[in-house]
């Protein structure tokens, strides 16, 4: 494939899927600025391996896996531990003010450990099967099941403890 045609194909793919990748990245990390950084890094990796990606049966699945692996790798670095600010409010750039339940869910999701959060995003936002999520995370199906189960238990506990909108208003 000629370099110009390869670049045009890559540019067209990124232009059509960057919004989706950004949403997935936001759900993984809970911060729009960091999501942009994750997407940029994943897109760079995707470009470097574009010839391999072009041979994939499911290009979106390949791109999603690159994004998830980028996120999980970042979680393991000492840089992330030094710059992480637990307890800060989530960036609510695109969340309407009147969606308290959505904010509660996003806040609870952001408090999950990285692999549990990745399992939840892949299973319930990206609507992947257990096997597809396992492939995207590079782990076994049983690991996805246990991570999802633990995450759901944690989310249920955290969301049940929060007052409902009716209880918050006087």
Domain boundaries, the chain: 3-168
Using the predicted structure, report yes or no on whether residue 165 has a pLDDT greater than 60: no
* More confident position, 54 or 11: 11
Report the C-alpha dihedral over residues 104, 110, 111, 116, rounded to 10 degrees.
120
Q: What is the mean pLDDT of residues 72-89?
A: 62
Report the pLDDT value the prediction gives residue 169, as an integer from 0 to 100: 54
Reply yes or no on whether the pLDDT at 97 is more than 60.
no
CA–CA dist 61, 57 (Å, integer): 9
pLDDT tens track for 31-60: 899 999 999 999 999 999 998 888 888 999
Which segment of 51-65, 76-90, 151-165 scores lowest on mean pLDDT? Answer: 76-90
pTM confidence score = 0.66
Query: How does residue 70 score in pLDDT terms, banded at 50, 70 and 90?
Result: very high
Give the model confidence (pLDDT) of 112-154 as tens digits: 999 999 999 999 889 899 999 999 999 999 999 999 999 999 9
Place of tokens 């955290």: 158
CATH architecture of the region 3-168: Up-down Bundle (1.20)
Residue 121 DSSP symbol = I
Extract the runs of DSSP E, i.e. beta strands, from 17-98: none
Helix (H, G, I), strand (E, B) or coil at 118: helix
Return the structure tokens found at 27: 């759900």
Q: How many CA atoms does the CB half-sphere of 96 hold within 13 Å?
A: 2
pLDDT at 80 > cutoff 70: no
For Cα atoms 127, 131, 136, give the angle at the middle one, nearest 5 degrees: 75
Phi, psi of 32 (to 5 degrees): -65, -40
Res 24: pLDDT:
93
């Amino acid at each position: 494939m000629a370099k110009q045609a390869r670049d045009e194909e890559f540019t067209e793919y990124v232009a059509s899927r960057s919004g989706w990748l950004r949403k997935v990245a936001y759900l993984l990390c809970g911060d729009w600025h960091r999501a942009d950084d994750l997407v940029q890094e994943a897109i760079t990796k995707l470009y470097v391996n574009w010839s391999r990606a072009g041979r994939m049966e499911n290009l979106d699945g390949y791109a999603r896996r690159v994004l998830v692996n980028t996120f999980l790798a970042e979680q393991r670095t000492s840089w992330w531990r030094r710059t992480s600010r637990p307890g800060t409010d989530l960036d609510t750039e695109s969340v309407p003010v009147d969606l308290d339940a959505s904010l509660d869910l996003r806040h609870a999701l952001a408090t999950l450990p990285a692999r549990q959060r990745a399992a939840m995003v892949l299973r319930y936002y990206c609507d992947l099967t257990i096997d597809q999520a396992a492939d995207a995370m590079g782990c076994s199906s049983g690991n996805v099941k246990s991570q999802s189960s633990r995450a759901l238990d944690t989310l249920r506990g955290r969301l049940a403890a929060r007052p409902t909108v009716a209880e918050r208003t006087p």
